[in-house]
């Protein structure tokens, strides 16, 4: 399922370096040192592996339980299992790897310059490994060995078209397109809810993959490769289209510092107290310069808490 990457939002409280238009805590700044914690690429890969494993294991387990025990879970329950897992993994691992858990998401984010291309192969490898081990664990746990590909024996946790290939291609495209346009302001909640919605309308038609790794892993474990190309090509195209259109609708070439700069008035430290009394919606941002501390007034009360700490949300 998703990612989430795009998806995801990095929410961090930081000190802004307004003069050069970059956040001192923004890991995407090429010349920005690691002030508190440096997340290595290996840590990111481990995060993607753990997140994808948990996602596929939990979501597909719901499918197996539903088909094995008299449809106790039902389609809405399966959708919730996937969506809630995405939400939990996004909040628990998102700050480490970005919570993609989906090759289509990694490719789409890289194509829109929100993720480095050089890390895409490693991410995809970690995602495929996590999903494959999850599928193998399910096979061993539930003894799913009998006539799986024919859909007449044990439960197949992979995806297969229930209708025509054209209908499957279209719904997979739309579902993944929606996934890449989920509002990043509430990260896990937005993406998780989008996953639930996508499964409710596309599950009966295509199986609601939205994720090449989610479909490739069961296909490899059980050797069921029929129509697999639909679940690779369509999600990738849908993710690319969603990311590009989302960028057209909301993107800007300005950094966060450049965006808020027109709303900031430079004041001295002596004027800070007086300015704060005059404007209850103002807050002080300190430029990162230990030798020459300067203060700025932020005119908007957005994301300012009672102690005047500013939370910067970087999409």
- Taking the model in full, what pTM does it have? 0.70
pLDDT tens for the chain, 315 residues: list them: 543 333 333 333 333 443 333 334 444 444 444 433 567 999 999 999 999 999 999 999 999 999 998 888 999 999 999 999 999 999 999 999 999 999 999 999 999 888 999 999 999 999 999 999 999 999 999 999 999 998 888 999 999 999 899 999 999 999 999 988 775 556 789 999 999 999 999 999 999 999 999 999 999 999 999 999 999 999 999 999 999 998 887 755 555 455 444 444 444 444 444 444 444 444 444 444 444 444 444 444 444 444 455 544 443
CB 236 within 8 A of CB 212: yes
Nearest to 55 by CA among 117, 126, 130: 130
Q: CA–CA separation, 28 vs 40, rounded Å?
A: 13
Q: In sequence order, what E strands does the chain have? A: 10-13, 16-17, 22-23, 264-267, 283-286, 295-298, 311-314
Q: CA–CA separation, 4 vs 173, rounded Å?
A: 16
pLDDT of 288 reads 42
CATH superfamily of 36-250: Glycerol uptake facilitator protein. (1.20.1080.10)
Domain residue extents for the chain: 36-250, 256-314
pLDDT of 48 reads 97
Q: CA–CA separation, 119 vs 45, rounded Å?
A: 9
């Amino acid at each position: 399922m998703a990612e989430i990457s795009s998806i995801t939002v990095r929410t961090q409280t930081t000190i802004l370096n307004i003069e050069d238009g970059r956040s001192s805590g923004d890991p995407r700044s090429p010349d920005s040192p690691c002030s508190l914690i440096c997340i290595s690429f290996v840590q990111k890969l481990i995060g993607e592996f753990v997140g994808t494993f948990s996602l596929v294991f939990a979501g597909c387990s719901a499918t197996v339980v539903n088909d094995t025990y008299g449809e106790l879970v039902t389609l809405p329950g399966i959708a919730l299992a996937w969506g809630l897992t995405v939400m939990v993994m996004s909040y628990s691992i998102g700050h480490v790897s970005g919570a993609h858990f989906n090759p289509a998401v990694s490719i789409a984010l890289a194509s829109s310059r929100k993720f480095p291309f050089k890390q895409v192969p490693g991410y995809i490898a970690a995602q495929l490994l996590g999903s494959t081990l999850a599928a193998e664990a399910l096979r061993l746990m539930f003894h799913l060995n009998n006539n799986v590909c024919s859909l007449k024996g044990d439960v197949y946790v992979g995806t297969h078209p229930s209708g025509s290939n054209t209908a499957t291609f279209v719904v997979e495209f739309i579902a993944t397109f929606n996934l890449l346009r989920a509002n990043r302001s509430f990260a896990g909640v937005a993406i998780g809810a989008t996953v639930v919605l996508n499964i409710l309308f596309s599950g009966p038609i295509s199986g609601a993959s939205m994720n090449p790794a989610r479909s490739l892993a069961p296909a490899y474990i059980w050797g069921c490769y029929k129509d697999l190309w639909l679940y690779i090509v369509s999600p990738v195209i849908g993710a690319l289209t969603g990311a590009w259109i989302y960028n057209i609708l909301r993107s800007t070439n300005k950094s966060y510092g450049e965006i808020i700069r027109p709303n900031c008035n430079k004041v001295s430290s002596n004027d800070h107290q007086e300015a704060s009394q005059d404007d209850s919606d103002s807050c002080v941002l300190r430029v990162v310069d230990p030798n020459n501390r300067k203060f700025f007034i932020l005119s908007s009360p957005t994301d300012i808490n009672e102690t005047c700490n500013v939370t910067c949300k970087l999409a």
